[in-house]
Structure 1
Amino acid sequence: MYARRRSRHSCRNRTRSRIVCVNSSERVLVYGAAGHTGRFVVDELVRRGLTPVLAGRSAERLDAALQPHASLERRVARVEDPGLLQQAVAGVGAVINCAGPFLDTALPLARAAVDAGAHYLDVTAEQSAVQLLYRELDAPARAAGVAVVPAMAFYGGLVDLLVTAALDNGPAADEVEVAIGLDHWWPTAGTRITGARNTATRMVIRDGALTPLADPAPTGSWNYPAPLGAQAVVELPFSEVITINSHLLVENLRSYLNTAPLDDLHDHTTPPPPVTDEHGRSAQRFAVDVAVRRGPHTRRITAVGRDIYAITAPIVVEGAVRLLDGRHHGSGAQAPGAVFDAADVLAALETRVGDFEVCRDRPRLPPQVTAPVARQRG
């Protein structure tokens, strides 16, 4: 059953002579609003008719980066200051965290959101950050009646939604293979900082349990949809392993990335994403190819689109909209495919996002014969 929250209202001064009351269910705090992804998120919230509250660690950066949204409220807070964080999240219905490294920012900001009775989402690709939120905030979020949804982004959330949709709401698969393909990777400054900070051993799923990725990581080849075609790949799991393991019973999960964009990422001279259209997107193309096997039957589902940072905005904002309007399943710390109707979210993204398409080229998997035993979350 969908969980619905009562609308709350907060008042804030717009001018000295006028106080405006704003429905908190329409106000979304964007932490890291001045960053590359954060600016896409702010624009998407405005397009969806919500009121962003711009937040971050520097007032100067917020003012300089967000001139088109000069009328929007700004709140400055550092994650090291719990008091300022509590003030920052006051009077909003949801918090979207776009400020990495998430191993540093996710827990303090999510805890402040839960304490304030607001939903929390972020865009982390970091496995350790997702595990930390699941471990520390599931019970408090359930008690508060709010949802904590990390990794609602290109890395993590999109794969989780695709795998869940491929299973047609079934709970289990014998094997899942994920192959993410990029034609280029122009990394943001935040991506580079997070990569340097994220030194934890990456986890995969083997024989139904979270297991450290082999060293050296397995390599191979993958035939992506055009225009990528056949590419060399390396097993490089992101946050989708943790989210999938939290709500689906998968015996073995392998997650690959093609190696060519890693050369871009490792080259310190590779520039940040170049703007090539009126929406601020780069020309980068991506494909996310998922193959799900149950017994002898395999189903494939593929998402193709443009700009991994830009597509993150409609993904996370779609989640925020559904949390605020009640189209979600329960509360607590949850995976995207568990808290939302995965197929419906993907269909909504296809409708709303230009240059984004989901292709299903295999028949449905047969229903599972026996009910699985619930898995302990990693």
Structure 2
Amino acid sequence: MKTPQSVAVLGANGHTGRFVVAELLRRGLKPIAIGRNAERLAAAGFMERGIECREASVEDDEELDRALAGAAAIINCAGPFMDTADAVVRAALRAGIHYLDVTAEQPSVQATFERHEVAAREAGVVVIPAMGFYGGLADLLVTAVMDEWEHADDIEIRIALDSWLPTRGTRVTGERNTVRRLAVSGGQLEPVHQPPAERISTLPAPFGQQTFVEIPFSEVPLIARHVRTKELHTFLSTVALRDVRDPSTPPPQAVDEFGRSAQRFAVEVIVTQEGVRRRIIAQGQDIYAVSAPIICEAVQRILSGEIRDIGAKPPAEIFNAASFLQALGPDLSVEISET
């Protein structure tokens, strides 16, 4: 019987990290739970399930190197990623292993590509920032719906959440991430215009007609690296924006045996080229929980050699987008149309 490969999870005791650990186990991989506090790792109940726990701080290279020993890949769930990604990517490169994270932060994605693209290729490993709900999912959706198109005139991404009960990590990141957000305008990365643009769109139930405001996330630097488009803009539903900006909004509460919240999401992507309009919609439950099957599918494909390239790259340059999305079927419904 083949020994399962080990995948380190940094921030394993956090909200998203616990989903990732559970998903790795479900897929027959061997998670190594890493955190900066041994007591919090113990409180997460990992050891009772036979999961190895290791303590490490991103500020200590030697601790990180010890924590990654024996792992084939590292999934970084410890934000803010502006504080953690660079150190963990460097540790992964020293260990000669693959690196993935779930950042929604544009600056961390850009820094990962700029600082580590050459080193990752030389090391023969894959480095993918933003391989979660924010970032990677939209990159795959855009690539799948474009299909044979080599360029686009306009790409719009609309993210609808029926609520957004933010984790503590989301709030901390929001407080830290004060840089101006970028979109693609006139074929170039540019700061989002102020005041930000708004859109109204009708989505499938339970959403109906929604109002959106332009707030791009980590998908923009991913898509902009490999898709030629004159315009690329991301919009978030005002319902979600109201919740996440309200300091009294509580954190997510589990409603099923998997620990997911009741939150529903829809991601609509509209791509236009020379008057032809293509649309793809992905729907599912709980943006934090769904990041686990997305990033674990990526790790599983990397470890099994189902990749197109190596180095620091967006997901759609590493994987076949349509095949990847199809594999997420139990967790994500996807529909494509053209007008």
Query: Which of residues 227, 239, 251 is equivalent to 2:218?
Result: 239
Give the equivalent residue in structure 2 for 1:346.
325
Of 251, 254, 274, 1:275 maps to: 254
1:326 partnered with 2:326: no
Identity of aligned residues (%): 50
User: 2:105 & 2:46 partners in 1: Cα distance?
Assistant: 30
Give the counterpart letter for 1:362 in structure 2. E
Q: Structure 1 segments of 4 or more deviating over 6 A?
A: none
* TM-aligned CA deviation for residue 169 of structure 1: 5.0
Matched residue of 1:193: which SS?
A: helix
Give CA deviations for 1:34-75 in whole Å, capped at 9, x if unaligned.
000000000000000000000011111111013475421111
1:359 equivalent among 330, 335, 338: 335
Q: Report matched runs for 1:202-281 at 5 Å.
A: 202-281=181-260
What residue in structure 1 maps to residue 293 of structure 2? Answer: 314
Give secondary structure in 2 for the equivalent of 1:247: coil
Matches within 5 A, 1:163-182: 163-182=142-161
The letter for the 2-side match of 1:83 is E
Structure-2 residue corresponding to 1:117: 96
Query: What is the letter of the counterpart of residue 198 of structure 2?
Result: T
From 2, 14, 20, the equivalent of 1:41 is 20
Deviation at 1:133, TM superposition (A): 0.3
Is residue 5 of structure 2 the alignment partner of residue 26 of structure 1? yes
Query: Is there any run of 5+ residues in structure 1 with no aligned partner, and where?
Result: 1-21, 364-378
Q: Residues of 2 paired with 1:170 and 1:149: CA distance?
A: 24
For 2:264 and 2:48, how far apart are their aligned partners in 1? 28
Partners of 2:68 and 2:95 within 8 A in 1: yes
Contact 1:172 1:250 in 2 (8 A): yes
After TM superposition, the structure 1 stretch with the greater mean CA deviation from structure 2, 284-293 or 86-95, is 86-95
Deviation string 1:116-174 (CA, Å, 9 cap, x unpaired) is 11000000000000000000000000000001001000001100000000111543211
* Aligned residue identity for 1:211: E
- 2: CA distance, partners of 1:163 / 1:257: 16
For residues 179 and 95 of structure 1, do their structure 2 counterparts lie closer, same or farther at Cα, with a shift above 3 Å needed?
same
The one-letter code matched in structure 2 to 1:159 is A
> Quick one: distance in 2 between partners of 1:275 and 1:119?
31
Shift of 1:102: 0.3
Counterpart of 1:135 in structure 2 is: 114
- Scaled by the length of structure 1, the TM-score of the pair is 0.87
Structure 1, residues 173-204: CA drift from partner, whole Å, max 9, x if none?
A: 11101100000001001100111111111000
Instruction: Give the number of equivalent residue pairs.
Output: 338
Look up the SS of the partner of 1:303 in the other structure. strand
Please say if 1:159 is aligned against 2:135. Answer: no
SS at match of 2:169: helix
Measure how far apart 1:88 and its partner are. Answer: 1.2
2:129 is matched with 150
Residue aligning to 1:201: 180
RMSD between superposed Cα atoms in Å:
1.3
Q: TM-score, normalised by structure 2?
A: 0.97
Letter aligned with residue 338 of structure 2: R
Counterpart contact for 2:157–2:267, Cα < 8 Å:
yes
The residue number in structure 2 matching 1:84 is 63
Specify the code of the residue in structure 2 equivalent to 1:127: Q
Q: Which amino acid aligns with 1:180?
A: I
Question: Contact 1:102/1:126 (CA < 8 Å) preserved in 2?
Answer: yes
SS at match of 2:144: helix
**C-alpha separation between the residues in 1 aligned to 2:41 and 2:238?**
35
Which amino acid counterpart does residue 206 of structure 1 have in structure 2? Answer: S
* Larger Rg belongs to: 1
- What SS does the aligned partner of 2:225 have? helix
**Using the alignment, how far apart are the partners of 1:144 and 1:162 within structure 2?**
29
Q: Return the alpha-carbon distance in structure 2 between the equivalents of residues 220 and 178 of structure 1.
A: 11
8 A Cα contact 1:32 1:38, kept in partner: yes
